[in-house]
């Protein structure tokens, strides 16, 4: 891929330095209960109501693995082309923090659930034509772990003196997905996270709600001289919970790394935080190493065994993935890759599009109307596709009327606006407002003659060879009918009369 621009970094520096990025993504699994106990995972419940002796780490309690969490983790692994290990194992990662009541986090360490996968990103950023290129990003590992509690240091009247902790989140099931250091720009990192989020949503592994913290990202970044084989020293920016922060933090770090190296300094390997208000990363702690955590196998849990039969069963039940859906849309419906990308953005939108086509609308027309008329109105109304006031079959009915010439596309759009507003079917609106297309040849000829008679100057221009004024005549006739005249008939009639 060609050198990409990075905001804030001088292009000549980017010709000499190459950024290297690897992401560690945490996604909350869509389970009703926690990973090792039966407590609810519901978001937004009153603090410290979804807790029990197991997730609070009281003595004498035993964790039991949630089978559904394991199943979802296997599904994610397979969707990301990873090898699911026959045998994996939980470990204890020991450290103290008030959000970790046991004094350790149960996480997979030396025997992760799955390894060696990849995710293909479609990278459009560099090209204005959006045809883009694609690139495979390696996935090092995918493993299961429990979330910690939520410490709240701000927002209370006594926050200057006290902190609060909500243990509801303690023990919520997570998968951690670690990428290879294959990403080369903030834009590629953005594309990777977007694509990964889409796969996790399609497979219903996670709802990936970033505001609720169910998708979080740590970014590892370094720079090296272009052409150098060895990677530079990396820093890790923790807990980036939005796409924008990820990009901004990476831009900032890349500029900082290059600045340090250019001035003859060295990058300290460390963990940093994104300071949102100041728009910069700040040191949080010096880099910790695996041995600092005194990992050892979790004695209270058996090794995790995944049979070939179970894996095959999960594979069989796998929904169609975004890439396959896009390819099928292009092939089956003859729509452009760009349109396929928009329509397959979410499963709900893709299903809507296919339902419109199944109800009899031509695919390309459906693709256009959904992308322009429907998505724009949904966005303005702040609605999801699932809340669309126009059902797929109702849109198909309207498009069939347009396609058969019973109403013009222009009136169709007005009818659609009314359908969106009122939820009424197209036929009812057309009957009430009298917007059927005017295809009466006599009526159209009368209107054409009127327009010609009223514009002798333009008639002269046209006859002198100025073809451009033809559009003027068409426009006048269409306007006289408030957009309801059959455009083809208007064209033919004018051609004949202007001769």
CB of 483 to ligand ADP, least distance (A): 56
Q: Which does 55 bind (CB under 5 to 8 A by kind): Zn ion, ligand ADP, none?
A: Zn ion
Q: Which does 219 bind (CB under 5 to 8 A by kind): ligand ADP, Zn ion, none?
A: none
Residue 343: which residues within 8 A CB-CB, separation 6 or more?
A: 329, 335, 349, 350, 353, 367, 370, 371
**Span of 54-62, 128-136, 174-182, 456-464 interacting with ligand ADP by CB under 6 A:** 174-182
How many other CB atoms are there within 10 angstroms of residue 1's CB atom?
Answer: 12
Distance CA 168, CA 49 (A): 7
Among 9, 21, 79, 250, binds ligand ADP (CB under 6 A): 21
Q: Which does 37 bind (CB under 5 to 8 A by kind): ligand ADP, Zn ion, none?
A: Zn ion
Stated as kind and residue range, the H or E segment containing 488 is: helix 487-498
CB of 408 to ligand ADP, least distance (A): 55
Among 6, 14, 18, 22, binds ligand ADP (CB under 6 A): 22
CB of 39 to Zn ion, least distance (A): 3
**Span of 26-34, 77-85, 176-184, 393-401 interacting with ligand ADP by CB under 6 A:** 176-184
Q: Which does 113 bind (CB under 5 to 8 A by kind): ligand ADP, Zn ion, none?
A: none
Report phi then psi at 438, rounded to 5.
-85, 110
Return the residues of window 23-82 that contact ligand ADP according to CB under 6 A. 23-24
**Span of 110-118, 177-185, 372-380, 461-469 interacting with ligand ADP by CB under 6 A:** 177-185
Write down the residue that tokens 């109501």 correspond to.
Answer: 49
CB of 31 to Zn ion, least distance (A): 13
Q: List the Cα angle 184/185/186 in 5-degree steps.
A: 140
DSSP state of 387: G
Paired residues of 281 in beta bridges = 274
| Residue whose C-alpha is closest to residue 487's, from 408, 415, 434 | 408
**Backbone dihedral region for residue 48 (phi beyond 0: left; psi -120 to 50: alpha; all else: beta):** left
Distance CA 58, CA 94 (A): 16
| Residue whose C-alpha is closest to residue 309's, from 72, 74, 38 | 74
Among 30, 75, 234, 377, binds ligand ADP (CB under 6 A): 234
CB of 186 to ligand ADP, least distance (A): 13
For 37, the 3-state DSSP assignment is coil
| Residue whose C-alpha is closest to residue 165's, from 33, 47, 35, 57 | 47
Where do the H-state alpha helices sit in 334-381? 337-343, 347-358, 363-369, 375-381
Query: Is 37 a residue that touches Zn ion (CB under 5 A)?
Result: yes
Q: 353 with 366: CB under 8 angstroms?
A: yes
CB of 116 to ligand ADP, least distance (A): 13
**Span of 33-41, 68-76, 204-212, 377-385 interacting with Zn ion by CB under 5 A:** 33-41
**Span of 79-87, 227-235, 376-384, 402-410 interacting with ligand ADP by CB under 6 A:** 227-235
Pairing mode, if any, of strands 104-108 and 90-94? antiparallel
Distance CA 240, CA 105 (A): 21
Q: Which is nearer to ligand ADP, 140 or 346 (CB)?
A: 140
Return the residues of window 38-67 that contact Zn ion according to CB under 5 A. 39, 52, 54-55
Q: 35 with 50: CB under 8 angstroms?
A: no
For 419, the 3-state DSSP assignment is helix
Query: Is 296 a residue that touches ligand ADP (CB under 6 A)?
Result: no
Q: 152 with 168: CB under 8 angstroms?
A: no
Write down the residue that tokens 């939980």 correspond to.
Answer: 90
Residue number, nearest CB to ligand ADP: 22
Number of residues that bind ligand ADP (CB under 6 A): 15
Beta strands in 190-276 (DSSP E): 215-225, 235-240, 270-275
Q: Which does 231 bind (CB under 5 to 8 A by kind): Zn ion, ligand ADP, none?
A: ligand ADP
Query: Is 237 a residue that touches ligand ADP (CB under 6 A)?
Result: no
Q: Which two tokens stand for residue 469?
A: 């004024």
Query: Is 180 a residue that touches ligand ADP (CB under 6 A)?
Result: yes
Q: Which does 221 bind (CB under 5 to 8 A by kind): Zn ion, ligand ADP, none?
A: ligand ADP
Query: Is 231 a residue that touches ligand ADP (CB under 6 A)?
Result: yes
Q: Which is nearer to ligand ADP, 188 or 397 (CB)?
A: 188
Return the residues of window 384-403 that contact Zn ion according to CB under 5 A. none
Q: Which two tokens stand for residue 102?
A: 């046991």
**Span of 18-26, 152-160, 428-436, 437-445 interacting with ligand ADP by CB under 6 A:** 18-26
Binding site for Zn ion (CB under 5 A): 37, 39, 52, 54-55
Binding site for ligand ADP (CB under 6 A): 20-24, 178-181, 220-222, 231-232, 234
């Amino acid at each position: 891929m060609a050198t990409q621009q990075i905001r804030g970094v001088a292009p000549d520096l980017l010709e000499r330095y190459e950024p290297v990025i690897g992401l560690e993504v945490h996604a909350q699994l869509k389970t009703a209960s926690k990973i090792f106990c039966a407590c609810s995972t519901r978001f937004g419940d009153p603090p410290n109501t979804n807790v029990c002796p197991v997730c609070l780490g009281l003595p004498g309690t035993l964790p039991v693995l949630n089978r559904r969490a394991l199943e979802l983790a296997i599904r994610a692994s397979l969707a990301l082309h990873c090898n699911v290990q026959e045998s994996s194992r939980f470990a204890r990662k020991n450290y103290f923090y008030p959000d970790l009541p046991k004094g350790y986090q149960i996480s997979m360490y030396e025997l992760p659930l799955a390894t060696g996968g990849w995710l293909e990103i479609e990278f459009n950023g560099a090209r204005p034509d959006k045809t883009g290129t694609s690139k495979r990003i390696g996935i090092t590992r995918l493993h299961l772990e429990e979330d910690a509690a939520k410490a709240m240091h701000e927002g209370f009247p006594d926050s200057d003196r006290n902190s609060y902790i909500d243990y509801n989140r303690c023990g919520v099931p997570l998968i951690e997905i670690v990428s290879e250091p294959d990403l080369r720009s903030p834009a590629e990192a953005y594309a990777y996270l977007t694509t990964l989020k889409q796969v996790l949503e399609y497979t219903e592994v996670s709802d990936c709600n970033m505001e609720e913290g169910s998708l979080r990202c740590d970014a590892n970044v370094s720079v090296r001289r272009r052409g150098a084989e060895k990677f530079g020293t990396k820093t890790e920016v923790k807990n980036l919970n939005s796409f924008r922060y990820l990009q901004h933090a990476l831009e900032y770090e890349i500029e900082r790394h290059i600045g340090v190296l250019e001035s003859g300094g060295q990058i300290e390997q460390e963990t940093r935080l994104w300071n949102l208000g100041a728009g910069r990363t700040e040191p949080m702690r010096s880099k910790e190493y695996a041995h600092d955590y005194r990992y050892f196998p979790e004695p209270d849990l058996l090794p995790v065994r995944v049979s070939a039969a179970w894996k095959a069963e999960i594979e069989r039940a796998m929904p169609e993935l975004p890439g396959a859906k896009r390819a099928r849309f292009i092939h089956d419906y003859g729509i452009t890759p760009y349109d396929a990308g928009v329509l397959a953005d979410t499963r709900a939108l893709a299903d809507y599009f296919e339902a419109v086509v199944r109800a009899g609308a031509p695919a390309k027309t459906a693709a256009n109307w959904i992308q322009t008329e429907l998505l724009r109105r949904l966005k303005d109304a702040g609605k999801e596709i699932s809340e669309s006031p126009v059902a797929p079959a109702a849109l198909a009915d309207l498009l069939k009327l347009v396609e058969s010439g019973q109403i013009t596309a222009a009136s169709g759009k007005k009818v659609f606006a009314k359908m969106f507003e009122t939820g009424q079917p197209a036929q009812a609106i057309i009957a009430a407002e009298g917007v059927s297309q005017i295809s009466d040849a006599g009526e159209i000829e009368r209107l054409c003659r009127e327009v010609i008679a009223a514009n002798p100057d333009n008639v002269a221009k046209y006859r002198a060879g100025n073809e451009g004024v033809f559009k003027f005549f068409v426009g006048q006739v269409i306007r006289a009918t408030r957009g309801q005249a059959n455009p083809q008939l208007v064209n033919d009639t004018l051609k004949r009369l202007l001769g």
